[in-house]
Structure 1
Amino acid sequence: MEEEELVPDLRNQFKVSAVSLAEAEATRNVMEMSEPVSECIADLALRYAEQLAKDLKLFAQHARRKSVKADDVVISAHRNRGLAASLTSFHDELIAKESERGQRDRRKGKKFPREDEMVDPDYTPESDYTP
């Protein structure tokens, strides 16, 4: 399938997912939601996602990059303070986990051996030979 053929399918899948999420939230909050309202919410979510994609592309292009970074996503949410705060804390948690993982990997990583550790006293050329 070509990319142009996938776009309508992706849009439909997005809308179906958005409708099911909206209905699940309504059920969770003991509310009833009519079908036109849930479809309107799905359409609004799709339009927001499309606009977000355009904004992120422009942010990356402005920074002379071909890929979007997490900072671009945080910046794009500046119009919605609650969302921006949530994204910022999520981004900070990701950075903390990455730095923690990096420190753990550095601790596990092998260091250069000392000179006295470089030579194996039990080494003989015959020990390397495997028939």
Structure 2
Amino acid sequence: MEEAEAEEQQRFSHRQRLKAAVHYTVGCLCQEVALDKQVQFSKQTIAAISEVTFRQCENFAKDLEMFARHAKRSTVTTEDVKLLARRSNSLLKYITEKNEEIAQLNLERKAKKKRKPEDENRDFMELDADVVGSDS
């Protein structure tokens, strides 16, 4: 019983920290917009935007989990995220572009890793040839 209460308290504490982080980030974004557009945001407005943002993120997380589960997977993929963003063309385009950039970087890293052993072998062979050539 005490374990369950401790776990619940930990979940509550984690949720509160997440909410605080969202509130802080929304506050920072509102400050930037306020400076750029020369408008003011009340504390109540920032709090309301923060709450809506947090709830929307919870809904997104649940939807992503359902998409993965529907596909009989336990891992959320970028395809799930694209499906979630399908109603916002600009967001979908941004996610797709970022996904392609990441995929390209991963390919380049893999290619470098494959080349590295070959380069080391070639360097060793050249060094070996130099040593054999100087012995003659």
Fold match by TM threshold 0.5: yes
C-alpha separation in 2, matches of 1:7 and 1:84 = 32
Deviation of the 1:3 alpha carbon: 4.5
Identify which of 9, 12, 17 aligns with 2:21: 17
C-alpha separation in 2, matches of 1:83 and 1:96: 20
Identity %: 26
2: CA distance, partners of 1:102 / 1:92: 15
Q: Distance in 2 between matches of 1:98 and 1:6?
A: 36
Contact 1:18 1:41 in 2 (8 A): no
Normalising to structure 1: TM-score of the pair? 0.74
Alignment match of 1:55 (pick from 63, 69, 72): 63
Q: What letter is aligned with 2:87?
A: R
Question: Which stretch shifts more, 73-82 or 2-11?
Answer: 2-11
Q: How far off its partner does 1:109 sit?
A: 3.3
Q: Deviations over 1:39-83 (max 9, x none)?
A: 111111111111111111111111111111122112211122222
Tell me the SS of whatever aligns to 2:76. coil
Gapped regions of structure 1 (runs ≥ 5): 118-131
RMSD: 2.3
Residue number among 2, 5, 9 corresponding to 1:5 in the alignment:
9
Whichever residue aligns with residue 26 of structure 1, its letter is: C
Q: Which runs of 5+ in 2 are unaligned?
A: 126-136
User: Is 1:64 paired with 2:72?
Assistant: yes
Q: TM-score, normalised by structure 2?
A: 0.71
